[in-house]
Amino acid sequence: MITAIARRRSRDRSAAFTLMEIILVVVIIGILLTLVGPKLAGRTEKAKRTAARNQMQAFKTAIQMFEADTGRFPKDLKELTERPSDVDEKVWNPGGYLDAKELPLDPWGHEYVYRYPGEHGDFDISSDGFDGRAGTDDDIRSWEVRSVKR
């Protein structure tokens, strides 16, 4: 009878984790997050910047198609998805000039800034980046986007 109780206690101890084992696992996970976390965060930001550049390329193409069809550049980006009243229905692309029903936001949830006429070409498109403020280092500008880097 004593041996049965001793065996059960021994089995109970081996089936559970000790406080030291749990602390050790938590410390190891913390160290891994400290080492890997910043690298993953940097890649996420780089991916968002690449997505913004890709979207600007899509806007450029859509604006050029709009201009070819209508003979003028759009006054604002909404004209790429909604037919302006001064554009004849016969020359307007029936589905709009973007593959979206609504104008997309930049990867940080802000509206793209469109200027026509532009200061750096026929038109300018920019994203204010993650901080949402124009004129800061995180801004992405169409006139600086030569080709999309992967």
Structural domains present in the chain: 2-144 (3.30.700.10)
Pairwise pLDDT comparison (14 vs 133), residue with the higher score:
133
- Taking a C-beta distance cutoff of 8 angstroms, is the pair 123, 140 a contact? no
What is the distance of C-alpha 138 from the center of its chain?
Answer: 13
The predicted-structure confidence for 82-128, as pLDDT tens digits, reads as follows 999 998 988 888 888 888 788 999 999 999 999 999 898 899 999 99
Confidence of residue 11 (pLDDT cuts 50, 70, 90): low
Task: Give me the torsion for CA of 84, 87, 93, 98, rounded to 10°.
Answer: -30
Burial class (CB in 10 A: 0-12, 13-18, 19+), 149: exposed
Q: pLDDT, tens digit, for every residue of 40-60?
A: 666 788 889 899 999 999 999
